Structure formats: structure tokens, C-alpha cells
Amino acid sequence: MGVIRLITGWPGPSGFGSATTAEQVTAGIDAGDLTVVITGGASGIGLETSRVLALRGAHVIIAARNVEAANEAKQNILKSNEKAKIDVLQLDLSSLKSVKDFADNFIALNLPLNILINNAGIMFCPYQLSQDGIEMQFATNHIGHFYLTNLLLDKMKNTASSMGIQGRIVNLSSVAHLHTYEEGIKFDSINDKKSYSDKKAYGQSKLANILHANELSRRLEEEGVNITVNCVHPGLIMTNLMKHSLNLMRIMKFLTYLLWKNVPQGAATTCYVAMHPDLKGVSGKYFLDCSEWPASDFARNPTMAKKLWDFSNHLLDSALQRS
């Protein structure tokens, strides 16, 4: 039924489907009081998410590695929406120093923070280590966002408490989380070059995004904090994320063209989970085509989620001590 809905665009339980666009899922929503940080918000579905949330009145902070490109994206948004509230701050998720600098710079702006969208990522890149000595896909897609979320969490808690508006954290994952290493997460050999697979390493990082969201959701609920945490699979969209495997993706798209989305459709689930009033109080879930969807057995394993949380903190502590 899920594949049929994907091909036909028929709506799911939410009333939206694979053919729904980001503008459609946010129609009628007034986000004028909200401040949003989105990583990778200057290109692809991140840019469309930035544009649509700004269209609904949100103050959008684009966190981007390439500030020049991000400022160009900001100007393009302003051309179609002169009232858009957009700011740009530099962020390189593969660098823990850059993540800390971004968080410090954002906090210095003395803005509230209602919504954090962990959107940026890299995909299928050749084996390499980050400057902090962590396998690059795991470092960028998971550890960078894990650290960023930790650094901004107190700001989000204070905002939710002072404004009385539920905060939302959205992690972008992928159906690729199903295609990971045999053990799910390679806790004992995260940097092993011999066993490295660019596809499985990507799947591992996307699995980590879901486990991170689930464990954070559990912890916030236990604390009684008014913040939800969810994950989304945006769908198959041809963007710059696929620059390391363009030929493979073109062949795949040719063979499975009915399953692919355009960028406005690809941003819909992110915008739905970040903004829609129907999701008030919904946390620790995985969404596809704007409807809740079962993730893998690994992704729903609370023991693995807790282990990843502790592993990530240990990895962070070790990297930060070396720097």
C-alpha cells in the first residue's frame, strides 16, 4: 500500500501524500512568532524548507558551510518574499569547532529558538576522516547534529517555557537507514577503513539520526520538557546531496522514475513535522509522505538508542579533548 500511495500520490492518514508540496502542508499556518534554525538550508530541499517557513512568517536562520551561496539563497527568497526574515550563519558540521562557533554566534543574537531542523548531510562519499578524526559521513550526518542539538537544547527549553509554545526538533533521516552494517552501528570500529562501504556508512549515519531522535525524545519526555523530536524520510529527490554518485542515481532514477519527487514535494514532510498543528505532542516517531511510518527494527531498538547516545558523548569528549 505504501508503494502504491507513493506512485499515485494518494493521501495517507494525515490527509497528505507523496505528491503534496511544502506550501500545501503549511497552508494557513501563521509562524510569525517562531524562530527556526535549519542546517543546510541554502540548497535542495533545505532551501525549499527555508523559503516556505519564511513564507509562513517564521524567522529562519540558515546554517550553511558556504556562506556566499547561502546569502545568494537568501536574496533569491527575498526577491519573491520581501517580508521574509532570513539570516545566515556559517556552520560546517564536520568540524566540532565550527559547530561550537555556530552555537555561540546564534546564542549571541539573543533570539528565541522554537524549531531546529537537522537537515544537512553528505552521501556516499569516499572514505575519509573529519578533522576531528571521525569517519566523515558519521561525523557530518550524526555527530555534528548531535553536538549542535546538545548546544542549543537549553535555548530551546527556555524558549518553550517562556513562550508557552511547544518546541520541535526534526532530524532528516532516510529510507537508506535500512541498508546499514550487519550490526547496525559499528560501535567497535566506527573508523575502520577496510570494512568501509560508502552506501552502508550512509545508512549507518541515517540510522543514527533516528536513534538520536528517539533517545532524545525519551529523555525530554522524562524531564517533562515541552519539546518534541521526530525523524523524517523526505523521499527520493535528485539534489546536490548525490554528487558523489550522480551516474548511479541517474540510472536508479531512470529505472524507478515513478518513485521520485521534485524538491517542493521533498520538503513537504519536513515542513509538516516542523509546523503542522496536528503533530502537537507527537514525539519519537518516523514520518514518510507526511504520515507516521514504521522504521527498521534497529531504529526502534531502545537499547541501541541508549548505547548510541553514550557512544556519541564519549566520541565527542575524546575529540574535544584532542582539539
Q: What is the pLDDT of residues 107-116, one digit of tens each?
A: 999 999 999 9
The H or E element that residue 61 is part of is: strand 59-64
Q: What is the pLDDT of residues 270-279, one digit of tens each?
A: 999 999 999 9
CA dist 276 and 279 (Å) reads 6
Whole-number pLDDT of residue 256 = 44
In the residue annotation, 181 being an active-site residue is answered as no
- pTM passes above 0.75: yes
CA atoms within 13 A on the CB side of 212: 30
Among residues 196, 202, 257, 272, the one annotated as catalytic is 196
> pLDDT tens across 23-61, in order?
999 999 999 999 999 999 999 999 999 999 999 999 999
Max Cα-Cα span within the chain:
52
Q: What is the mean pLDDT of the chain?
A: 92
Instruction: For 90-121, give one letter per residue: b (16+ CB within 10 A) or e.
Output: ebbbbbbebbeebbeebeeeeebbbbbbbbbb
Contact between 30 and 58 (Cβ < 8 Å):
no
Indicate the residue type of 136. M
Please report the pLDDT score of residue 254 as a whole number.
Answer: 41
Return the minimum-mean-pLDDT range out of 3-7, 154-158, 258-262.
Answer: 3-7
Encode pLDDT of 185-222 as tens digits: 999 999 999 999 999 999 999 999 999 999 999 999 99
Q: Is 179 exposed, middle or buried (0-12, 13-18, 19+ CB in 10 A)?
A: middle
